[in-house]
Amino acid sequence: MKFTEPLVQATLLKRYKRFLADIKFPSGEIITAHVANPGAMTGLKEPGSEVWVSPAQNPARKLRWSWELIRIGDSLVGINTSHPNSIVAEAINNNKIRTLSGYPKLRREVKYGESSRIDILLEKSSGEKCFVEIKNVHLKRGKSAEFPDSVTTRGAKHLRELSNMVKLGHRAVMVYLVQREDCATFKIAKDIDPSYHDAFVKATNSGVEHLCYSCRLTTKSICIDKRIRMIL
């Protein structure tokens, strides 16, 4: 996924009210940027951090900038949770995720289950369907990426919905996309959300598959890099 406009480097002053961040440009100008991330963003909101923002495509939008990246040590981390679906769809179309290849039809945001929308629906000409749910991951503790970084009742609901699709005879896959390069493994953060962990175990036992991939990030693009081992 390539950024449509060049990103602008800046310094983070503070993140607040979940969806807002005050950011300072090298010129000294201070702006408020939109933060497309409802999570806790643990370890990713330290004042003084180097960040990158993108200009809004809609001139009528109230906030003209969106926070995209932050530098943590020697690595970049993507914090915009609106990107993972596009990143994964691009990877599937380019045959970068082998276990999700062989489906000629890909649709996004398709209604299913109990008033839900699946991130990606893959279909074969034979009628076989594969329901793909995608979760953005950026929490790192030790050498492991973890999800979630805050309680997510919606995330647990998605796992139950996927389990129901398996019961109906379909394939269901949960993809955890780690928008960072510095994690060797992935695991569910049971201590942060025990209910989500329980839902994950139940979904796995019911036949829901799970994949985890890290990303390669630059200030020009974000793309899937390699599969990460999951610690169950």
The beta strand positions in the chain, using DSSP E, are 8-16, 20-24, 30-34, 50-55, 65-72, 75-78, 105-112, 116-123, 129-137, 139-141, 144-147, 171-178, 185-188, 209-217, 222-227, 229-230
**Mean pLDDT for the stretch of residues 93-100:** 96
Average pLDDT, the chain: 95
Contact 55, 65 (CB under 8 A): yes
Band of pLDDT at residue 207, cut at 50, 70 and 90:
very high
pLDDT of residue 225: 96
Q: Max CA-CA distance within the chain?
A: 59
pTM of the model: 0.94
pLDDT for 1-20, tens place per residue? 999 999 999 999 999 998 99
pLDDT for 103-137, tens place per residue? 999 999 999 988 889 999 999 999 999 999 999 99
pLDDT of residue 134: 98
What does the block give as tokens for 108? 């996004």
Domains of the chain: 8-78 (2.40.50.580), 84-230 (3.40.1350.60)
Band of pLDDT at residue 58, cut at 50, 70 and 90:
confident
Cα 86 to Cα 222: distance, rounded to the nearest angstrom: 10
Residue 59 has pLDDT above 90, yes or no: no
Picking from 162, 150, 135, 160, the residue whose alpha carbon sits closest to that of residue 230 is 135
Q: Are strands 209-217 and 171-178 parallel, antiparallel or unpaired?
A: parallel
Band of pLDDT at residue 57, cut at 50, 70 and 90:
confident
Give the residue carrying structure tokens 């839900």. 116
Band of pLDDT at residue 56, cut at 50, 70 and 90:
confident
